[in-house]
């Protein structure tokens, strides 16, 4: 079996670390791991298969001989080193939003559109975390019933922002418990005991960049520019897992039970949706929860119900670990298809 | 000026206390306040206009001579004493869901359908907290453009459940900060650092009772049984104020700027929606936030934008204090129209 030299850019960040962990857990055939980051991280080491591997500063020359480069160092690193890594022979799977909408860069969710990977020219983009889980949940509905319109509202965890956001939530909670006032730094406003309808910067049409990403990336992944999507993205004081309230209007009808059965067979998707509550125990009904699903691989759907406000429509609740399926795992799954 | 004898049932609960505070703040013409509660609360006192008023156990005879009875003691108290209070001469404004859908009980949001109050037969229902703020936000849109369909997803604070839920969130946060495992009691699952897509009990169609309330009460308030509404209700670890992500499909189009101007003139509604972000300061854009608006009276709308996924549609973010406009204030406003 061939073995590969794998570089991870942004190796000390939350997603980079999750990528390295995922490569090891999934036994990806790594001959050599090259963890790269900014100058500030030089001197740090990352753990991989029991060894401590020193982090190097990202430089063009370090991509010589690299087979696979996983980029999780943000848009700036991807812009500066992405195509250079490709020129030096690596296949790049990029987690930033920088190349996602380029026509020459496939945007891949393996369970949804792996066929589009054939068109790649060395660079493959990993979609936004909130987009990936939405697309995995929509796929079986799209194929079986056709989708007219999606209205999605998110509950996104702070780990999507990075380590410093996790620390900010922890610090704010402790500060408030101690009866003191918080000073937001990572987020524009207090995140503890609050919800923020503001992720990434505002665009001219009033949507945030995060919302626009969800809309445009979903259209690209389904190769369907006419797919109607409306998104509202909200940060919540949860550490890991994004949750989404999704309303789907379909072209054709199907009973909820049949749709649930169909979705439960869809790859990468697990239904947590016990459909049989009892009168004396209404809490018997199950549904996916962020705190219970952190660290797991699949996309989880629950609370599936027929929306009576349209002829054919459904409401559902979609949860996934934003660092795993929403980022690192999806990237490694793409790599597994390639190598 | 006439002065009235006012009974408050559930006087020691969060909403009951807020009602007593609101009566005082709005200088409602109270001649005598009679705070009522269950046997367990006898011995407690409530503060009203500088005096300490002892709480009595709710009994039929105590409604003799009462002009106005505000009920905030839950469905059981309303069922047991509601019509009895009416029979003894009081006008009842009931905050429970028990009578809301009865055709002989008007369901009133003063800014939206105060005219329907004329039909009352002694009993007036106060809508559900999440419904009230939705209806105040929708009113100007409904009147000016007509509404085809509403898809709403909520972020509801724990104070909507009561004092014991506030304590549960506080305790769970401290437990988790101390590195220990939480034991949910009030909620079926952990609420700290989590979001729960489960408010009130599950119904046979998969919706929760809270979601069904939002749909049915909104139709009743607008006297429009054909108004299409889909609701997903979610509890979040926030202490006070409910937030809602609202997608509205309208019959007619209007520019976002014109709609914003229109809504800003609507009674009880305040736009927090600075429409002019700048490239160098994207955070300049304002939006309503739960932590900033607790304790205030209005319904706040921000993030108004034209939804490009339909011909005529808008997305918006709606926040209100669930104990004030969502409960106590709305009830006292109804009383002000009556007396």
Give the domain ranges of chain B: 4-127+327-338, 131-322
Residue A277 has pLDDT above 90, yes or no: no
Nearest Cα of chain A lies from the Cα of B170 at a distance, in angstroms, of 8
pLDDT of B204:
86
CATH number of B131-322: 3.30.360.10
The CATH superfamily label for domain A4-127+327-338 reads NAD(P)-binding Rossmann-like Domain (3.40.50.720)
Residues B175 and B185: beta-carbon distance below 8 Å: no
**Confidence bin at A204 (pLDDT 50/70/90):** confident
C-alpha span between B114 and B120 (Å, rounded) = 11
Mean pLDDT value across residues A14-25: 97
Q: Do domains B4-127+327-338 and B131-322 have the same CATH topology?
A: no
Record: contact B205-A230, CB cut-off 8 A: no
Intra-chain end-to-end CA distance of chain A, in Å: 11
Q: Which residue of A has its CA nearest to B201?
A: A282
**Whether residue A83 has pLDDT greater than 80:** yes
pLDDT of residue B274: 82
Is B302 in contact with A188 (Cβ distance < 8 A)? no
With CB atoms and an 8 Å threshold, state whether B155 touches A151: no
Size of interface A-B (CB pairs under 8 A): 164
B198 catalytic? Reply is no
The alpha carbon of B60 is separated from its chain's Cα centroid by a whole number of angstroms, namely 27
* Cα distance between residue A55 and residue A62, in whole Å: 12
Is residue B138 within 8 Å of B147, Cβ to Cβ?
yes
Residues of B in contact with A205 (CB under 8 A): 305-306, 308
pLDDT of residue B285: 80
For residue A316, the chain B residue with the least C-alpha distance is B232
Instruction: Give the pairing of strands B147-155 and B51-54.
Output: unpaired
Sign of the dihedral defined by the CA atoms of residues B16, B19, B24, B30, in that order = negative
Q: What is the pLDDT of residues A293-338, one digit of tens each?
A: 999 999 999 999 999 999 999 999 999 999 999 999 999 999 999 9
User: If you measure CA to CA, which chain A residue comes closest to B305?
Assistant: A206
Contact yes or no for A236 and B236 at CB 8 A = yes
Phi, psi angle pair for B249, to nearest 5°: -100, 125
* pLDDT(A219) > 60: yes
| Of the partner residues A153, A237, A302, the one whose CB lies closest to the CB of residue B237 | A237
Q: Is this prediction's pTM over 0.90?
A: yes
What per-residue confidence (pLDDT) applies to A220? 98
Q: Is A197 close to B287, i.e. CB distance below 8 A?
A: yes
Distance from CA of B296 to the nearest CA of A (A): 16
Interface test with A, best of B219, B307, B313 (most A CBs within 10 A): B307
Mutant choice from B168, B177, B198, B214 vs A, greatest count of A C-beta within 10 A: B198
Cβ–Cβ gap A317/B283 under 8 Å: no
Q: Which of B291, B300, B320 to mutate to test the interface with A (most CBs of A within 10 A)?
A: B291
Q: For residue range A28-54, list pLDDT tens digits in order.
A: 999 999 999 999 999 999 999 999 999
User: Which residues in B1-32 are b (16+ Cβ under 10 Å) and which e?
Assistant: eeebbbbbbbbbbbbbbbbbbbbeeeebebee
| Cβ-Cβ contacts under 8 Å, A305 against chain B | 205-207
Distance set, CA B276 to CA B164, B281, B284 (Å) = 42, 10, 8
Q: Which amino acids of A are annotated catalytic?
A: 129, 242
**Interface contact flag, A310 B190, Cβ < 8 Å:** no
* Nearest-CB residue to B151 (from A151, A234, A285): A151
Chain A contacts of B196, Cβ < 8 Å?
289
For B149, which of A170, A238, A309 is closest by C-beta distance? A309
Q: What is the mean pLDDT of chain B?
A: 96
Indicate left, alpha or beta for B65 from its phi (over 0: left) and psi (-120 to 50: alpha).
Answer: left
For the cut 80, the answer to whether the pLDDT of residue A280 exceeds it is no
Q: CA-CA distance, B240 to A169, in Å (whole number)?
A: 18
Residue burial B222-250, b: 16+ Cβ < 10 Å; e: rest: beeeebbbbbbbbbbbbbbbbbbbbbbbb
What is d(CA B25, CA B29) in angstroms, rounded to the nearest whole number?
A: 11
Contact B309 A232 (CB under 8 A): no
Whether residue A232 and residue B317 make contact (CB cut-off 8 A), yes or no, is yes
pLDDT digits (tens, 9 = 90+) for A95-135: 999 999 999 999 999 999 999 999 999 999 999 999 999 99
Closest CB to A307: pick one of B230, B247, B287. Answer: B230
* Average pLDDT of adjacent 10-residue blocks, chain B of 339 residues: 92 97 98 98 96 98 98 96 98 97 97 97 98 98 98 98 97 96 95 97 92 98 97 98 98 97 98 72 79 97 97 98 97 97
Q: Which of A208, A291, A311 to mutate to test the interface with B (most CBs of B within 10 A)?
A: A291
Q: Which among A74, A71, A128, A164 has a CA at the least distance from the CA of A244?
A: A128
Tell me the percentage of chain A whose pLDDT exceeds 90. 94
**Structure tokens given for B213:** 């309330």
The active-site residue out of B129, B135, B233, B241 is: B129
Chain B residues close to A304, C-beta within 8 Å: 206
């Amino acid at each position: 079996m061939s073995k590969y030299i794998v570089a991870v850019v942004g190796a000390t960040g939350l997603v980079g670390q999750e990528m390295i962990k995922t490569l090891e857990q999934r036994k990806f055939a790594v001959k050599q791991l090259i963890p790269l980051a900014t100058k500030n991280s030089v001197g740090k080491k990352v753990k991989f298969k029991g060894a401590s591997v020193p982090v190097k500063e990202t430089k063009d020359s370090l991509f010589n001989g690299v087979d696979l480069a996983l980029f999780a160092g943000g848009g700036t690193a991807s812009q500066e080193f992405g195509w250079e890594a490709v020129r030096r022979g690596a296949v790049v799977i990029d987690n930033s939003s920088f190349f996602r909408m380029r026509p020459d860069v496939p945007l891949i969710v393996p369970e949804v559109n792996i066929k589009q990977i054939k068109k790649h020219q060395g660079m493959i983009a990993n979609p936004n975390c909130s987009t990936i889980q939405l697309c995995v949940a929509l796929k079986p509905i799209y194929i079986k019933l056709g989708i007219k319109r999606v209205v999605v509202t998110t509950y996104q965890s702070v780990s999507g922002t990075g380590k410093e956001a996790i620390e900010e939530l922890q610090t704010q909670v402790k500060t408030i418990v101690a009866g003191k006032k918080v000073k937001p730094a990572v987020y524009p406003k207090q995140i503890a005991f609050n919800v923020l309808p503001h992720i990434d910067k505002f665009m001219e049409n009033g949507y945030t960049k995060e919302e626009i990403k969800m809309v445009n990336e979903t259209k690209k992944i389904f190769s369907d520019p006419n797919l109607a999507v409306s998104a509202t993205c909200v940060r919540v004081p949860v550490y890991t897992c994004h949750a989404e309230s999704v309303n789907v209007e379909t072209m054709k009808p199907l009973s909820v039970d049949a749709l649930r059965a169909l979705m439960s067979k869809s790859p990468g998707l697990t239904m947590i949706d016990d459909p049989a509550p009892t009168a004396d125990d209404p809490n018997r009904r199950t549904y996916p929860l962020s705190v219970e699903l952190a660290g797991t691989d699949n996309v989880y759907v629950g609370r599936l119900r027929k929306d009576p406000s349209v002829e054919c429509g459904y409401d559902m609740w979609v949860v996934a670990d934003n660092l795993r399926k929403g980022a690192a795992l999806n990237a490694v799954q793409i790599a597994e298809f390639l190598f």
